[in-house]
Amino acid sequence: MSRSRTEIDSSEIIGLIDNVLNTVAETLEDGVFPEIGYYGASKKNVFYQEDAGYVSIDETPSFIDGRKVESAKTVASFVYGLSRFKEHLEQNMSMSLRDFYYMHKVKHVQDVLKIIDQNETNRLINLCERVIRHNGASVPREELGVVSSPKGTFYGDITISDMSKKRLNCTSAGEYGWFISSRPFDVKIHDINIDAAIFIEKEAMARNLIELEIPEDLRIGVGALFGQPGRNMRAWIRRLADEEIPILILVDMSPWSLRIFSTIKSNSIELANIRGLATPEAKLLGITTDDFWGKRGMLTEIEHSLESMTKSDLKCAQQNKNIPAISQDQLLSRQNEIMLKKKRKGELEAFKSFGLPLAELKGFYIKYLKTKSSDLDVKVI
């Protein structure tokens, strides 16, 4: 079953926007203050499920009451925002979050709305996503033509066509592979020749693996997350999971990296309304506390390379206890506890502290990846 969103035609979106605008117009003509209802990202509307991540249930609606001054401002921004989306969709143009912010600097708009902070317009887009719904789900901003700067690369033997309409193979799309589309749901996948995909927090290590030709040797795909993955990357991972490709995640051993993994796996409370961003099938490949401290740990030899956790690392780990997708996940909460106890953290660069000759390093990487994958029931050659 596909967990990705199904594609929506932009004319359909324009129709949805027109609907909302006309409803507002009619309300005003009736002399009634408009009221906009939506489901917010509150605890009442979002719950966590281990096999699905954060799930939004439309339980308690919130209302923007146009009788109130601040809310009227929101309604005004909302109507203005929709009018911008509509125009862009009609012209087949995309806009960035920053573009959208600058559209509020149009003189006659600024005079009325007086917006001085991009956070305000970002929140507005979030609101639009929640209000404009299609088949009972939020319409993501990408469908409204708002595209956040895409982030992340993917290297591996998969043939696709992206927005450029060109057919390309992700092993020959540049030195890190393919720069992941801002709209992965609209990407067509033609052909898949990998047995698993590994997504790595740090691009340096991903590059090393590509340079060592490990993707070819193991028939795997290698993605670089560039830190906390963007929406596009998460949607791409979801796409691959829909194609039944095992997803393995390789991140630092730190409380922050647990969050990275958990966002990939479970999405986030804030974006629970956006479908297709969670990949519950994703597995944490490494590097884990067991690698360093476990009986059969593969990195015990370089335990000395671990660094002390800083104050903010410890605080992060403490707060992780309140994040359902971490605290209610056995594996992640255990990792978090051990880190809190040991107060040490490890980074992917630790592999370099073996001091191995490059040929042997490649061997170790392969051994690590294979062993850890098979521990997770993922078979690579």
Which residues are near other proteins by CB under 8 A?
18, 21-22, 24-25, 28-31, 33, 65, 67-70, 72-73, 75-76, 79-80, 82-83, 86-87, 109, 112-113
User: Cα(318)–Cα(43) distance, rounded to whole angstroms?
Assistant: 20
Nearest CA to 373 out of 253, 218, 171, 254 is that of 218
Question: Closest CB to other proteins among 88 and 283?
Answer: 88
Please report how close the Cβ of residue 16 comes to other proteins at its closest, in angstroms. Answer: 13
Please provide the DSSP assignment of 302-366 as one string: GGGG-EEPPHHHHHHHHHHTT-HHHHTSHHHHHHHHHHHHH-EEB-GGGGGGG---HHHHHHHHH
Residue 82 or 197: the one with the smaller Cβ distance to other proteins is: 82
> Considering beta carbons, is residue 30 or 117 the nearer one to other proteins?
30
Using alpha carbons only, how large is the chain's radius of gyration in Å? 23
Largest Cα separation within the chain, whole Å, is 78
Cα–Cα distance measured from residue 151 to residue 226, given in angstroms and rounded to the nearest whole number:
7
Q: How far is the CB of 103 from other proteins (least distance, A)?
A: 12
| Closest CB to other proteins among residues 57, 112 | 112
Q: Whole-number minimum distance, CB 80 to other proteins, in Å?
A: 5
Q: Omega into 14 within 30° of 0, i.e. cis?
A: no
Helical ranges in 91-190 per DSSP H: 97-103, 107-113, 118-131
CA angle 55, 120, 69 (to 5 degrees): 100
- Shortest spacing between CB 117 and other proteins, in angstroms: 18
Instruction: For residue 153, give Cα distances in angstroms to 175, 223, 224, 258, 279.
Output: 10, 5, 5, 21, 18
Minimum Å distance from CB 79 to other proteins? 5
Q: Tokens 């004319």 map to which residue?
A: 11
In the complex with other proteins, which residue's Cβ is closer, 22 or 300?
22
Closer to other proteins by Cβ: residue 105 or 167: 105
The residue (of 77 and 288) whose beta carbon lies closer to other proteins is: 77
- Output the smallest distance, CB 70 to other proteins, in A: 7
The least distance separating other proteins from the CB of residue 20, rounded to whole angstroms, comes to: 10
